[in-house]
Structure 1
Amino acid sequence: MTDPIRLAAEALAAGELILLPTETVYGLGADAATPEAVAKVFEAKGRPRFNPLIAHVADAAQAERIAVFDPSARRLAETFWPGPLTLVLPARADAGVCDLARAGLDSVAVRVPGHAKARAVIAAFGGAVVAPSANRSGRPSPTTFADAFEETGHAVAEAIDGGPCAVGLESTVVSVMDGRPALLRPGAVTREEIEALAGPLSGAGEGRRSPGRLALHYAPDAPVRIDAEAAGEGEILLGFGPGVGDPRWSLSETGDLREAAANLFRRLREADRERPAGIAVAPVPGEGLGEAINDRLRRAAGFVG
C-alpha cells in the first residue's frame, strides 16, 4: 500500500508542492529552505513576495533550530503548541528558512501545527515547511480538501486529505522580537488567552512581519457587507445566533464563536457559488474568538480600520 505521508515528504524533498492539512486551514506546502520551491508557492497563489510565509515544524526542538527564543516566547510555545499559534522571532543565521520565505526580514514566523498528519509529513521530510493557505491570493482560505484542491490542486505533486479543518481560521500571530509580545494577527488562540500568560500585549508590533495583513483579503468574488441586519436585494445573509436568517447559511444558529470560526470560510465559498449580488454577514460579537472572525470579515469586505 502506498504511504501518502512518505510520498508527500518525497515530493517536498524534490522541490515540489503539496497540499497539507492543518487544524487551521489547508496549506500549500514547500521546502522552506529552497528558494526555487518557495517561488512555486508564490506563483501558484499569485501572492505578493513582500508577504512572509510561516515555517511549519514538527516540534519545539525543531523550532529552536531556526529561531531565537527568549523566556516569554518559550512560555507561549510550551502552552499553545502544537496548535494555532505562530511566533515571529529573530531568525538564526542558519535557520533553514530561505530569505524569500522570510520576505527579506531578520525575523522568521514559526509554528507547530496541531494536525497529526501535518506533523507526520514535516517529521518525515526533516526540514521546515512553508504552508500558506492553499487558495489563490486574496481568496477565502480553504478548510476542506475539496476546496483546497479546487484552488491550487493543479500545482501540487501530492495531496493529503486530512478532513475538514477543526479550527477554520488561520493561526494567531504574535511577535516576540524584543521580549514583549505583540499581536500581529488575531486567530484561534485569543488575545485574552495570551495576555493571561504573557501580560498585556503591545500595540506596537510590526505588521509587515506577519502574513494575512492585506486590506482586501479572504474575499469571495461577490462583494461582502458586514454587520448587516438583513439581506439586501439579491444578497445572501450569513446569520449568527438564533433565528437570524436562513439556517442553511448560518455561521452558528446557537451563537457559538468556535462553530462560527469553523464555518466562516466554508460559508463564504458556498454562498459565492450561488453568484449572489452580494454576501451580507450578520453582526458577530468582537470579544474572544470574535476578534479574529471580525478581522477576517473586515478584510473580506475590503475594510480594515
Structure 2
Amino acid sequence: MRGTSLIGLSLASALFIGALAYTLPQPAGEPAPAAPWLTQLKVGTVTAIVIATPGQPLIRAERRDGRWVLASWQDFPAAPGAIVNLLRAINDARQVEAQSSLAEHQALLGLDDQASLLTLERQEQAPLELWLGKQVRQGGQIVRTGDDPTPWLLDRNLPLPQNPADWIDRHLTNIPFEQIRRLSLTYPNGARVKIYRDTIDQPHLKVSQHPVKVMDEAAANDLARIFGQLTIEEVAAVTDFEQMKKPGLSFELLTFSGGKLTGQIRQRDDQYWIRLKTLKELAPQLVDHPSPPVLRIEARLLR
C-alpha cells in the first residue's frame, strides 16, 4: 500500500512538472544553430530609443552629438551602459523557435495589449518596432517584429529598464566623507549652519550655527555624509520647482579637491527637490547640460 502511494505521488508530480513545462514555449534541449534575429539592423544607425509600456511613463532616449540623453526626462544624460547593453543584446540576439501567431495565444506569450513596444529610430530608415513578450525560465524572451505576425523565442532576455531612473547615473554626488571640506546651509527662517573641517586629516566635521542651534555635531556629520552621497530619484522641469513650497533651504558644498555644488532645496508633500546653481568638478553627468534640471532626492535628507 505504501509503495502504491509513492508511485501515485511520483506520477502526479511528473504530470504537474510536465504541465508547467508547457506554460510557455521552451527552448529545445539540442536546438539547431539559431539564426540571427535582426539582420537588417545596424546599431550604429540608431538615433533614438522609445519604450512604451501600458501604465508606465513613456521613455525616449536620443543620441545627440555623440552622447545619449533622456528626452522624456528633461534631456538628462543617459548612462552609457544602459544604452550599450540594450543595443548589444538586440544586435547579438538569435532566433531559437517560432511561436504561435494565433490571436488566442498572444496573451500566453505576453504579446497582448500589455506588451511593451520598443521602437528604434534610425538614420534614413523607417523606425523598427519590436513587441516584447514574456521571458522564459531557462533564459530567453518572446518577441514580435513590426507587422510580422510570427512571434519568436530569442536566445536571451533584452535588458529593458522600465524606470527612467534606471537609465541614468543616479549619483548626484559621490564624495568620500573625508573629502568634504564644508557644507553651508541657510534655512528659510534665517538660521545659518556651517559644517566644516580645517584640514583633510581631521576625522570629524565641526559645526558653527547662528543665531540659534539647529543640530548637534553628530547630526551635522550625518547630514554632511548624506550630501556627499545624494541619489537622484526623479527629474522635473524648473517651472515645477517654482510652484513648490517657498522659501527653500540654500546650500553650498565644498570639497578639498576643489569641487563645488550650490543650489536650493524645496519641499512638496514628503518629497525634496534640488535646483542646482553651481557645478564644479561634481556631478560630471550634468557638466555639459545647458540648464541643469530639478532633481528629486532621497526624502530622508531633511527629516
Same fold by TM (over 0.5)? no
Query: Which entry has the higher C-alpha Rg, 1 or 2?
Result: 2
Q: TM-score, normalised by structure 2?
A: 0.25
Q: TM-score, normalised by structure 1?
A: 0.25
Structure whose residues are more often strand by fraction: 2
* Bigger RCO of structures 1 and 2 (CA < 8 A, at least 6 apart): 1
Structure whose residues are more often helix by fraction: 1
